[in-house]
Each structure stands twice: as structure tokens, then as C-alpha cells.
Structure 1
């Protein structure tokens, strides 16, 4: 580990400063090159430290508050948080404490607090690891927890928070042969056909990556295309398509795919993924609401709060406060209405969001059914391998939550509905 791990830890603290102080998402920071100056090993470690600290921040703060009479500046607080999480995960006390002290001592305006960091982390090293496991599973911030408890109940919320704290394994979608991909990668074949890999390591080094045999996609995110059930030769429009997992699923099924997204950088990833997997789709960069045409089926993975992805992205509830959700809900309704004009008579629209909020799922479809007399919920489309009856919703959709498949490692939160246009 270069420079005794100080560079990776400094970068982890920088990510936390940006998330907790500036409201930035880690995905934005990483896309902007926040860790590009690090060696691959340090880059992976910085990312892991930041994610682990965000997941365990409530526990870290509870341990730290016993040793702090007042909160230090945010950067020092984040140094202490990272150090606490490392120590409580079994990190060697000498190495962790020295690295975090060194990190603060090199900071122009915070060097005078190196004694505080040293003293506090040595106390954490002594009593923290034992106390860590006795603390409750970290909870979501109140602004998000309240609506989710109201929607799903306290027991389900406890299960979801346990899934968030545990993080997520790596799920793969096979281009053609899930069993072969599972065998090659050492993964497990899930009931819905995805392959789940634990302790995967570097994705690009895994068997089958260069050959394009599979792509990374959470098992829940793979279900919208399963429910759409594309047939060879069907014309399918994939709206809000980036980064392209569903586009590749559609193409692999033999559909004639047009993929649309308004983000050029993200669409470049779609193009790269298609090239790697040897699949074909027509790509349009632009606003989905400006798209024209007539298609056998439309897939709309609408922009949403992404609250269903917190087990993978624990920064989200700390970087956001819910203030933008109203605008997203309005946009989803607008997108549904436009997408419906692109569906041929007798065709189908699959609407989905990676959200845990009913307003971005069940309520959207209830309202859409009321607005469009020629729209019905095709509940028969939900009769697919591995889909459990308990996931079905009253308006005819599918509700997936992180606490589902708890014994298998959970899944992302998703809402999916197949809407059929009358002939």
C-alpha cells in the first residue's frame, strides 16, 4: 500500500467531505475523476473505505461522541469516522491511527488537531471493536425513513436497513447462458436467472468479461426486460437507457432496439458495452419526450429518487434531502404520457423506477391508468420464473425491496408494471 495507505484514506475523507458537506453523489465525483490520481489498489481501497464509512456512520458517530466534548471541523470528523470504521472492522490499530494522524498533520489548517485524532482513535482502538457489534443497525435519515416506514411498515424498514448496512454482492446478466456464466465466475444462479457473485474482485479481470459473455446488473434491474418479454424481430424503444443493461438484454433477445438517453457521457458507456458484448442497437442522444415513432413495445426506466439503490450507494440519503423528488414525480408522469403515444395498438409499455417510494411506482401507475382509458395493467406479464406472488401489488405491478431475498443477499428496490394498449 503506497505511502502507508495515507493517500487512499485521504481520498476517502475527500469523498466524504464532498458528500456530507457539499451534497455531491459519489458517482458524480468518480465520473469527474476524483480518484484518477491513485494507483488501482489505492483507488479501490479509497472507494471501499468511503462506502463502508457511509454505511456505518451512525455507529461510528455513537462511538466517537463518547470521546468528543464538541464536534471538530467536518474533515477531522470524517478522518475520525474512517479511522473508527477501519478499527472496528479489524484494522491494525498502529497502522490505522498513525495513518490518520499523518493525514491530519499534513493539512495546513487542521494540523493542530493531530493530537485529538491520535487520542480519540487510540481510545476507539481499545473499546470500539467490541462495542461496534452491540450498536443497532444504522438507520436512514429521518427525512427518508419516515415516508418508507409509512409505506412499508417498521418491520420491513428494519429489514431494508439491514440490507443497506450489509451492502450488495455483484449480480451479472448473461448474454445467452446463465448457467455457464455462473460456472465460469464461481457465482450462484438466482431464481430469476441472474448470476450472483460474492467477493468478485476486479470486474474487468473476471472470466467472460472481455468476451462479452455478461454485464453487471442487479437482479432486480434485470426483471423489467424479463417482464416485457421481447420477441425476436420486435421493435422496442428503450427510453432513459444509459448505462445500457436493459438495452443489452433487449438486443440479446433478438429485438430491434432503439435506445435513447440525454447524457452523452452515459451513452458512450452504452456504446462501449454494446461493442464489448457484440450486440447491436440504434442509439439516440436526446430528450425522451422528443422521441417519435411507433413501437411494438417501449421500456421506460424513468429518472427517479434512486432510493432503491442505497445498499450500493449509501451516499444517496446523506447527499440528498428529498427536495427534488416532487419534480421527478412530475417528470415521470410526463414521460409515461409521451411514451404511451409511441406504443402501437396492442403493444405494451413497461414502466419502472429504482425507487422505494410509492409515489414513484404504485401511485404513478394508478394515476396513469386513470388518465388513459386504453391502458390496462397486464398482470399476466408478471408470471415469470422466480417472481414471487408476495411482490405483486394491487394496481397490477411488482414491488421489489432490499429485504426481499434476505438469505441470498437482498436485491435493489424497484417498481415495475407492464401496461397494455388496447388493440
Structure 2
């Protein structure tokens, strides 16, 4: 639990939000804790309860901006600091990052950004001695920061070198740079609606994508937006909404959804009329899935189990379809989850690929003859996508690829590979406003059991 005190009634406005932002940054950068676990659920930062909705939104945006531009901020501060960022006081590092991010990319007056960062340092015993340094560096940042960033002109600074090298090798240097640029923008809010996307695009001040997802730039608490409480829609990136559609007509069919929580794809399948069994190993995540289905007035059978070990239905009947949204490095979601870039390491890929192999092999055994298997990951790494399916097809003679046609994915030919699989990239779906552009990076393949 963070040691810093929480907001007091007499505290300087905005300081509590920045203190909690510093705690959460420290959790990501020094304690390997994800943003999700620090922002929601039982392990969330206790100070969040003290913040107003406005301050909570500011804190989230501040943390996301810093993580999205961490490489650029590191480069900038190294130019402004003669001896580098202090390593003996994490709060001094956080204060510098928070102040610089506000000065460069957020609608906060420079003097307020500097003052609050100095106060942040002064309130921490170990960092207090650096208050003068933080003040001087951030004042220099306000004068010289933008020219120093323009001098570099490279979003690739904000991608870990090992990841950029992989993307360059697999997609080419130009596409890798386009991916890095797309990730640098704060993403829109994508929602899947039960019906009448035109009405919801109007009510949410958004627009309808070719895939029928409604995309909006509205910010703040999702729960406060029209239609959420009533269960008319759910949050789901446009790319994440595509794999569930690859089964075709599924009314009345039995579909197992492996690794189902938090339930966006389960909701899609149920809404399309399937009899869905949702399987997830996490009781907490499954509870969230059930809550989402209740809000949406949808029903599915739920099973808390490791899908790779799950024996299937008691009757032993095979499923008409199985959807695997496999655990992965999630490198395709960095624009929405910028902590992923700094929490994942290249060594993680092999262990996750082994788990994905086990899930695929289990799905083959639980699929009835003639049944359809849709496998997907929100990863840009070929080991977790193309190579996983190639290995399965090589080892399972009873499985064959059922190529995806562009017409099944709103005519977006660029997201269909030569083999007939789905591959979306963050730089796909361009838009004049870059905040309304892009997709999460997804891979999906459709296989049929003979």
C-alpha cells in the first residue's frame, strides 16, 4: 500500500490527483504492477475513493500520457539534467515526469504544473531535497522542452527497443514507424451497440465505423454515459469485435468462449443467439463478466476453470464452435494500455506461446466434427498468431483453415492476410483526426474440424 498520505480538505487543489498518479506510476515502473490492478478491483489504490470524478479522470489521463510518451520524456529530461534523473528518490522522478507531461501535452498552465510537482516532492521525505532541482528543470522544460522534442521528431522513442526491432523485422521499418505513431495518440472510446448504431452515434457525439462499432471522443466515467446503465451497449475496441463475427450465423448453436472475461465477446455471441459457455480461470474476472451480462440482460453458462484443463460439458457433447481469445503479450493494445510496453519483456513470449498451444489443442478435442474454431490474440507478435496456427495445422490433420473474406469484415481488405487470416494494426483505419483513427492490433484465424 502506498505510504503517502491522502487528500485532506485543506490540501492544494489537484495535488491529491498528482500524488496518486505518482504512486501508480511507481507501481508500474518499479513494482511491475499493471494499471488495471491499480485502478480497479480489490487491489486498487485506496486513495482513488477520495478523488472527485474530475480529478480521477485527470489522474488517469496523466498516467496514460506519461506511459505513452515515456521514452520521449526520458530523452528530454536527460537533456535538461546534467547528472540524470535522481535514482535514490522515486518521487522526484515521478514529479519530473508528471510536470513535464503536463507542460508538453496537457491543458495545464505551466506555472501550475511546476508548482504542483514541487509540492509533490516537498511532501516526500526522501525527495524533499530535490525540490529546487525539480523547480529549475521544469521551468527549463517550459522554455526549451518543445524545441528539444521537435529536434528528435521520432515516436519510436516511446517503444521499447526490443519491441521496435521485432515490429521492424516482421512488418518492415515503415509500418513499424506507423504503428509507433498511432500508439502515441490518446485512443477514442469504441462501443458495440445492441441495435440502432445511428441513434447511439448521435447521442454519444460519435461516428459509426465501417464495422458498425460506434466511436466517440467523449471522456470521463463510462458509467455516466447515456445507455450504459440500461445495458444498450458495452465498451469494446473495433478490432476486438471482429473475431466473434467469424462464426457466421450462430443462432441456437453451442459456443464455448475460452478465457472469456471481461465478456465483450461473450456478449456478442449471446446477443447473436448462441448458447454460450464462458470459461475463465479467474473468479474475480468471471464475477465481472457476470455483472456485465446482468447489466446487458444477457445470459450465458459460466465456468471458473483453466480452459486448457477443462473437460468440457458433462454430457461430453462437442461444441459447434469455440472462440479462444488467448492470454498473450497484449502488444496490440499498447495505445489503450500503455503500461504493457514497459511491463512486458521479450522472454514472456515463449511462455505465453506454450499456453496458447495448450488452449488450441484442448479446443480441438472439444470441437465437434464440422465445428468452427476461431483463435485470436491482441498481440502483434507472430509467435502468438501466425506461427501458432501454422504449428497447429501442421500437427492436426483434422483441422483446416476456413479463409476469412473481406466482405465478412466490412470490406476492409487490408486487414485480411494472404492466407485468409485477420491481422489488424494500430495504424489501420486512418482518419483525418488521428484520435479517431486506428485499431487495436489483433490476429484471428478461423479453422474447421473435418
Normalised TM-score (structure 2): 0.90
Q: Following the alignment from structure 1 to structure 2, what is the Cα–Cα distance between the partners of residues 120 and 380?
A: 54
Matches within 5 A, 1:282-361: 282-289=301-308, 290-293=310-313, 294-361=318-385
Q: Following the alignment from structure 2 to structure 1, what is the Cα–Cα distance between the partners of residues 283 and 307?
A: 13
Report the 3-state secondary structure (helix = DSSP H, G, I; strand = E; otherwise coil) of the residue aligned with 2:158.
coil
Q: Match for residue 442 of structure 2?
A: 414
Matches within 5 A, 1:113-262: 113-134=130-151, 135-137=153-155, 138-262=157-281
Q: Say if 1:387 and 1:306 are closer, same or farther in 2 by CA, change over 3 A.
A: farther
Q: Following the alignment from structure 1 to structure 2, what is the Cα–Cα distance between the partners of residues 66 and 200?
A: 34
Q: Match for residue 44 of structure 1?
A: 57
The runs of 4+ residues in structure 1 deviating greater than 3 Å are 129-135, 380-383
TM superposition shift of 1:230? 4.4
The answer for unaligned runs of 5 or more in structure 2 is: 1-6
User: Which of the residues 103, 122, 136 maps onto 1:105?
Assistant: 122
Q: Is the 8 A contact 2:332 2:441 kept in 1?
A: yes
Q: Say if 1:261 and 1:81 are closer, same or farther in 2 by CA, change over 3 A.
A: same
Q: Following the alignment from structure 1 to structure 2, what is the Cα–Cα distance between the partners of residues 29 and 11?
A: 10
Q: Is the 8 A contact 2:118 2:131 kept in 1?
A: yes
221-230 or 279-288, which deviates more: 221-230
Q: Is the 8 A contact 1:355 1:414 kept in 2?
A: yes
Query: Residue 75 in 1 paired to residue 91 in 2?
Result: yes
Q: Is the 8 A contact 2:404 2:420 kept in 1?
A: no
Q: Following the alignment from structure 2 to structure 1, what is the Cα–Cα distance between the partners of residues 73 and 367?
A: 51
Report the 3-state secondary structure (helix = DSSP H, G, I; strand = E; otherwise coil) of the residue aligned with 1:248.
helix
Q: Following the alignment from structure 1 to structure 2, what is the Cα–Cα distance between the partners of residues 392 and 381?
A: 7
Q: Match for residue 390 of structure 2?
A: 366
Residues 143-166 of structure 1 show CA distances to partners (whole Å, capped at 9, x for unaligned) of: 211111111011111111111101
Q: Following the alignment from structure 1 to structure 2, what is the Cα–Cα distance between the partners of residues 379 and 247?
A: 23
Q: Following the alignment from structure 1 to structure 2, what is the Cα–Cα distance between the partners of residues 381 and 297?
A: 19
Report the 3-state secondary structure (helix = DSSP H, G, I; strand = E; otherwise coil) of the residue aligned with 2:142.
helix
Q: Say if 1:230 and 1:25 are closer, same or farther in 2 by CA, change over 3 A.
A: farther
Aligned residues: 422
TM superposition shift of 1:402? 0.4
Q: Following the alignment from structure 2 to structure 1, what is the Cα–Cα distance between the partners of residues 398 and 445?
A: 15
Report the 3-state secondary structure (helix = DSSP H, G, I; strand = E; otherwise coil) of the residue aligned with 1:196.
strand
